[in-house]
Structure 1
């Protein structure tokens, strides 16, 4: 009988003289018992030092720093390569643009040839063969649009020539700057590849004004409205301008919010924020009326009519008429500006 007590699956075997398995505590597929192999010898040195927890932590810290450095180095490489690609793109763009601008003479010469042969051009003529004195008197065929007056064509060619010639100096300067920037970023890439310490990477970032992703400040999106609070705590939003009015009404306000605007006068959209199904209280409405008047051309007109409706009844008037809206259902209130009340509301301005 053989017992295995230190394997993953302990078992008892009843064997014959030839190690054939006659019976076993747990069933096995093999018919012959094979003695388990011996444990491989310990490959570690007999006198290997046992590391303390502090030493282990120190070694791992070194490895972590090395890994972090490589990650930071790769990140810097990517940033610089992106800058190089952009510079190459800009340089190609300005090179191609300069090639087009330098063709200004073609437009100038064509305009002068048409002008010199204007007396030969008849109405409805599509082309005319002329002597091109700009190119050793060679013959050249000038083409025309039969629906365009020759004088208009001449003026157009001279405008194109002047515009292209005037853009050459600007384009040359941009091309030179793109080449300088490209050379600088290529130098930065060489330094980044040679960097062996964190301070090397930081010096490169400081010199070329590159910042770690974590250091980039999040751009704060300016809200399109001023925010006030009524006496009972309701938020009242007031649009800052035509484009901001549109963003306020159609991007920030909900359909159940209440919308106000002075009738027949330019002014801000005013929105009162309320819970769905609720109507603002009378005092909050009065505050909103004052804000609508204060941010409109009707402020000094005595009494003015103010439209009140829910935002769901307000729709865009047209894409070209930014800030102008159509109101399908509304109430009208006749109100006058109250400077004292407005001052109190200003004290409750949130942002």
Structure 2
């Protein structure tokens, strides 16, 4: 599925989200603050006897605010921004959640106490404006910025500085109307008369109304053209943002979109209990993929560089190998020269002699004018021998280079399916292989510490059998060679880079076997394919040759299943 290019998290959706967050979080107390990713903050608020994870994202692509249940991993050392947030907001009480007009700006108002015990009023503002998105903590008493997740100086924006100590200035207001406060509708009627086409009407509605993304303006234009008075249709449309039915919609061109309630034109709609749960489902894979690419940028660069180097090397080796196919020509010429040595004279550049290997057909042979007749013959024998000796070397080098390419293609596919925490294992593996400089180098050497490898992901089959899936080479090797019982079942995509999968059963059902094969296909380079071949055998038939790279094994006694990878089945099997 492709993400819709329409603006889903517009001001109107923000209106609905404000209501959801206010009803859930008001009067709650801040218990934790973490910054798992550079542009995202998680504020844990204890409200209604539950710990609620409030996600504030200033990501340029996925800017949003919501409650989330998706687990995250904190960096080992908190950022300066995190420390400042903790200093001012730890233990603070959330008084209110307010929206700036109908814009994509939410202000979380807190009361707290400073180091002297005096009560303070703080505003944590999130501005969700694509690349200008930001998270800003403001002292409400003096209107000064305490800190921002992205610092913006005068060289970038002369209108408003977003720096510690600067006076906070709201984003510039546009000359548009807040649709939730609109009471007269003559202008709407005039627009409908002037622009009867829905698409053109939607464009002009966006120009005059605040907080309308493209999808919302199109939906409003469709509502206005329904039977009844435009004013009543307008009010009915925006009333639905106050009683949302969170919707994930399948659109034309294989795109998906989220809305506060079902919009016209969707092919299929799926409803969710809350807006936050809708966003968790919509953004989980997309935001995670973006985070992986952001955090794994160095790893991705190393892998691409190694693939390019080895693919270039392989082309050169195969070109050299092609030249060895002409080796016999040099031997034949050497033998013919030796046979007719008495016809050769020093200083000759070429000679034409009968080729007794081809019915005495005349064969033209180049000679070196600097060599004697016998030396010319020996020169051809030496070139023949050199090429023959090269065959063994080239075959070995081609095999090693192809293995390197397979290895890095495997690493590449592992990064694509990785969760942020899996990158630690991949980085360590590349460091151990000397493909990536050890990040500890240059520092004072500490006592050697064994790298802790993350555990494989656990799934439960429909009949209750545990299935383990390694996400990278280190996890795969530990899972297959150390964790699994020799009698358990091992699965892997056939001749395709992917995860090692272990069924923790000596005699799994056919259904469990099929589900495990689906996991193996999904967590492989063939995730988007169909009829993916998956081999399975008992762990006792797996062997790791000496000196091979992490995760590399050979196996026999295998059988093969063909499966179509299914994301919905994977989510269903997740523990």
Give the TM interval when normalised to the shorter protein: 0.3 to 0.5
TM (norm. structure 2) is: 0.27
Q: Which has the higher contact order (CA 8 A, sep 6+)?
A: 1
Pick the structure with more helix per residue: 1
Q: Which has the larger radius of gyration?
A: 1
